[in-house]
Amino acid sequence: MSLIEQILAARGLTGDKLAGFLNPDYETRHDPFLLPDMAAAVDRLVLARERQESITIYGDYDIDGLTASTVLVDAFESFGFESVEVFIPNRFVEGYGMTVDAVEKIAATGTKLIVTVDCGSLSETEIVRAAELGVDVIVTDHHNVAPVQPPAVAVINPKRLLQDFPDKYENYILKDKSERLYPFLDLPGVGVAFKLVQALQTRLDGLDAGQEKWLLDLVALGTVCDVVTLVDENRLHVYWGLKVLAKTRRPGLKALMAVARVEPASVNARSLGFGLGPRMNAAGRLETAQFSLDMLLADDGMLALEKAQQLDDMNRARRLEQDRIFQEAIKQAEEYIDDKVLVVSGTGWSHGIIGIVAAKLLEKYKKPTYVLEEMGDEAKGSARSYGDFSAADAIRASDDIITKGGGHKLAAGVTLPTANIAAFRQRVNQFYSDKKFTDQAKLLLPKADIVCDFDEINEQLIAEIEQLEPFGSGNPAPILQTVKVEVSHIRQMGDKGQHVKLTVEKNGVSLQMLAFNAPEHFFVGVGEYVDLWFEPNINEWQGRRTVEARLLHLEKNI
């Protein structure tokens, strides 16, 4: 078998499954009315359209929430809703999700219906208050659900089916496709909002069948940046969404691609996750995500470019602030180098940025990490984890010494008295010890799809690998491994020599490999033999194309 055939076989992609994977058919999309409460939501929105009631879309400050909000704004306009506003909470004022204060402010504007996106599943108190004020609520969300749903008109959340029918799903996919249940449960918030649009198309005029595809540029952006699994319907949305994004009609996305130096014709999932996403997120991390929403909704090219440039400036400021916090956090982390779980804290560490710092510390130290901002008597933090250690469960094991907290296995948040930070550090480390984890760091190492030699790596292989795009969670870019290769040249780059470029050779064939911010053990000596894990790619420079690779991991072969 060829290398690409080996890669496909290793991923279980053969026969009809392969054809459907390589060329997702939009017509295979799932019936939106299989989602919980979808019919009730559509009925209420049809009534709102007949009455021309004032509607507020209650969004979120991350990209999933922002793109979902924009999807509904666009669709509602097409359906003929005349009074639609968007409320985006401020991370530093309201925080995540619905709040009673926000609901009361929205009700005071005359809104009769709130449609949430990417939030609301656990907002019983807020939804009860809305009802008291004469405001109905439709929840569209994808986060964890309550045992009993809040008293909304509808709670459209795929995770409800996982709660109600846990044995019928595996990895969020329905085992028996003949069952009348929604087949895929890992939709992001923007994906759920898009399914609402598809359902409304069956009852309202204004958005003809097929025209909803123009919303897929937003769906793709939100899906990739929310790091849900890129399989099943998510893959379908991103696959076609990237094609829409390449010819998007949105001045805001055109402008954002321009400032991010993303070529529309070659836009891919990596462009979204590392180019467009960080710039949009910067606004909510530093000030307010309203800047990003304004860019997405801009209908004038010059205004859109002004907003996109503003986001680019914010992203540069975010990176400078992030680097400052990261360097301070490293100094503190070294004091607790023997801890299995890192807990670091400091004043002036913006809690809009510390989540990224936690991820960088995890990468550097290979440990679950909590980073806290000390704000007087209170501290607020973000956690990042991996492997078997649940950041959220460790927080729940500290309930008696924290103010509040929760989240997911790999990412969580916590608020606690500043005086309890030391006790919290001890508690999460004890939680880790009690679990008796072993070999956790190995779980961070890349796993190769296949082992190969250099003479099989060429432009044709890279072109074939690109057919597996979009890459992301659940469908990572293929990783190749080559064993016992000789290092023939090493070059350090960067202002601190932090990057490395190796020339390695085996059986008379050489290949250059580049690693940015390389760990110390990547700086090997000429003549040494190593085993390598890498992703092949094409480097284009001054019209010349060469096959190179991104070095992911290196081990000496003695």
Q: What residues contact 300, with CB distance under 8 A and at least 6 apart?
A: 251
Contact (Cβ atoms closer than 8 angstroms) between residue 151 and residue 127 = yes
Q: Which two tokens stand for residue 426?
A: 């001890």
Report the pLDDT value the prediction gives residue 276, as an integer from 0 to 100.
97
pTM above 0.95, yes or no: no
Contact (Cβ atoms closer than 8 angstroms) between residue 328 and residue 361 = no
To 5 degrees, how large is the angle CA 330–CA 332–CA 333?
A: 60
Distance CA 69, CA 140 (A): 11
Cis peptide before 417 (omega within 30 of 0): no
Report the pLDDT value the prediction gives residue 160, as an integer from 0 to 100.
97
Report the pLDDT value the prediction gives residue 470, as an integer from 0 to 100.
94
Place of tokens 């929105």: 45
Q: Is 175 helix (H, G, I), strand (E, B) or coil?
A: coil
Distance CA 167, CA 153 (A): 28
Place of tokens 């459907």: 20
Number of other CB atoms surrounding residue 364 within 10 Å? 16
N-to-C CA span, the chain: 30
Strand partners, 178: none
Report the pLDDT value the prediction gives residue 325, as an integer from 0 to 100.
97
Q: What residues contact 432, with CB distance under 8 A and at least 6 apart?
A: 340, 341, 368, 389, 394
Place of tokens 């001045």: 251
Residues of the chain with pLDDT under 50: none
Nearest C-alpha neighbor of 139 from the set 80, 192, 206, 71: 192
Contact (Cβ atoms closer than 8 angstroms) between residue 528 and residue 493 = no
Q: In the chain, count H helices and then E strands.
A: 19, 18
Distance CA 51, CA 111 (A): 12
